[in-house]
C-alpha cells in the first residue's frame, strides 16, 4: 500500500487566501515544478480523488483534508494575493521495497538491499547511484538493520566454563 501525506500548508485560516485557487503540480527529481497536475486524494487510503485545483474557503483554508503520494509544488492564485508557488511539499517517508539504481529517494524513506537483506534509511533527498555502497559512502543513507547470516550457535562454552547454555558467535 502506498502511504499518503496530508497537505498541511492550507489547514489553518489565512484571510489573504480567502477564495484563492491552489493548483498542485508534481515536482521533479530536482524539486522543480512540472506541468503535470498531481493526483490528490480525499483520504489517506481511499481511492476517491479530490479536485485539483482546490478553491480555499471563506476562512482561506482547505474545506476538507487533501492527501498526496508524490512531491508537489502548490501554485496559489487569488483575489487578495499575488500568484506564487509555496515550494516543494514532500510526501512522508515510506517503505520503498528493494533499492534500485537511478531512483529518487526522499529523506526518511527506507529500503532493503536485495543482496545483503540489510535495511537502510535515506538521510537526505537523493538520486541513487550505481550501488548501495556508493550511496552509503556519499553519506546519503544510514544502515538501520543488518541481518548477520553467519551466526554460529553452540552449547559449548567457548571460555571453558559450564556447557549447556546457548552461545552465539558473531563473525567480526
Amino acid 13: pLDDT? 95
CA dist 43 and 54 (Å) reads 15
pTM of structure:
0.57
Mark whether 84 and 97 lie in a shared domain: no
State the total domains in the chain.
2
CA dist 13 and 42 (Å) reads 20
Which three cell numbers mark 100?
A: 534500485
Which three cell numbers mark 65?
A: 483534508
Amino acid 1: pLDDT? 43
Please give the DSSP secondary-structure letter assigned to residue 91. Answer: P
**CATH number, domain with residue 115:** 2.10.10
Q: What is the DSSP string of 94-162?
A: -EEEE--TT-EE-TT-EEE-TTT--EEEESS-EE--SSHHHHHHTTSEEEEE---TT-EEESS-TTSS-
Amino acid 150: pLDDT? 56
* Positions in the chain whose pLDDT score sits under 70: 1-3, 88, 90-92, 148-172
Amino acid 141: pLDDT? 96
Task: Give tens-digit pLDDT for 38-79.
Answer: 999 998 888 999 999 999 999 999 999 999 988 899 999 999
Mark whether 68 and 19 lie in a shared domain: yes
Amino acid 168: pLDDT? 52
Amino acid 2: pLDDT? 59
Mark whether 99 and 60 lie in a shared domain: no
Residue with cell 479536485: 51
Amino acid at each position: 500500500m502506498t502511504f499518503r501525506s496530508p497537505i498541511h500548508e492550507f489547514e489553518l485560516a489565512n484571510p489573504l487566501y480567502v477564495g484563492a485557487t491552489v493548483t498542485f503540480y508534481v515536482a521533479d527529481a530536482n524539486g522543480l515544478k512540472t506541468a503535470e497536475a498531481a493526483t490528490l486524494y480525499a483520504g489517506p487510503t481511499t481511492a476517491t480523488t479530490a479536485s485539483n485545483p482546490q478553491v480555499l474557503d471563506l476562512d482561506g483554508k482547505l474545506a476538507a483534508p487533501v492527501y498526496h503520494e508524490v512531491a508537489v509544488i502548490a501554485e496559489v492564485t487569488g483575489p487578495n494575493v499575488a500568484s506564487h508557488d509555496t515550494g516543494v511539499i514532500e510526501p512522508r517517508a515510506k517503505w520503498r521495497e528493494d533499492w534500485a539504481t537511478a531512483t529518487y529517494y526522499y529523506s526518511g524513506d527506507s529500503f532493503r538491499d536485495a543482496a545483503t537483506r540489510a535495511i537502510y534509511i535515506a538521510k537526505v533527498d537523493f538520486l541513487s547511484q550505481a550501488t548501495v555502497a556508493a550511496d552509503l559512502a556519499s553519506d546519503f543513507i544510514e544502515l538501520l538493520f543488518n541481518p548477520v547470516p553467519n551466526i554460529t550457535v553452540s552449547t559449548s562454552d567457548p571460555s571453558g566454563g559450564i556447557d549447556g547454555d546457548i552461545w552465539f558467535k558473531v563473525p567480526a
